[in-house]
Amino acid sequence: MNSEDPAVKLSVLNAGLSANQLIDSPPEKGENALDRLERDVFDQTGVKGILLHMGENDIRHNPDYSSEKIIDRMKEIIKAAHEKDLKIYGGTLMPFKGSSMFTETGEKTRQEVNEWIRTSGEFDGVVDFDKAVRDPEEPERFLAEYDSGDQLHPNDKGYKKMAESVDLSIFEK
């Protein structure tokens, strides 16, 4: 079963907020992910699983954040999801070289967080958004055909590629 299977009937509740962060989200960007988890996820009906795709804004806006700090917050969210008997899937962080807030330190943190998402076994599964949209010749950058032009956000084709990288059958288990 995959996203192309007409038998797959799922609804998606997108609780994403522009520029929101895992740890210390500025008030104008909404509460941080952990503070809004109860309201935005657990209080909703019919939730079968969570796809957590956050952390890049933390890296970009807080260059002093280590991968450990971001991973620790992800672990808190994973624990909270599991306490509610929900599966939680980790979405890897996408490349952003060329964007105005790119730094080598931030890239190192992104790579460390992605490695942890892919290999730790803490998540119930992984959706590799990074692999889906990155340039294979320069993996710190978006593939040009998926870049919105700011080297940070995907364009429509990039969002489509991201959606296609999600195996919807994980939510049927």
Structure-model confidence comparison of residues 76 and 169, the more confident one: 76
Q: How many CB atoms lie within 10 A of CB 125?
A: 15
* Helix (H) or strand (E) segment spanning residue 34: helix 33-37
Q: Are strands 134-135 and 49-52 parallel, antiparallel or unpaired?
A: unpaired
Considering the chain, what percentage of its residues have pLDDT values greater than 90? 74
Domains of the chain: 27-172 (3.40.50.1110)
Mean pLDDT over 63-91 rounds to 96
pLDDT band (50, 70, 90) for residue 152:
very high
Q: Are strands 49-52 and 87-91 parallel, antiparallel or unpaired?
A: parallel
Residues 6+ apart with CB under 8 A from 146: 133, 154, 155, 157, 158, 161
Mean pLDDT over 129-144 rounds to 97
Mean pLDDT over 3-29 rounds to 75
27-36 pLDDT, tens digit per residue, is 887 788 999 9
Please give the model's pTM, rounded to 2 decimal places. Answer: 0.91
Rounded to whole angstroms, the Cα distance separating 67 from 106 reads 9
DSSP letters for 68-136: HHHHHHHHHHHHHHHHTT-EEEEEPPPP-TTSTT--HHHHHHHHHHHHHHHHS--SSEEE-HHHHHEET
95-114 pLDDT, tens digit per residue, is 999 999 999 999 999 999 99
Question: What CA–CA distances, in Å, run from 128 to 9, 43, 64, 108?
Answer: 22, 27, 25, 17
Which amino acid, 85?
D
pLDDT band (50, 70, 90) for residue 1:
very low
CA atoms within 13 A on the CB side of 142: 22
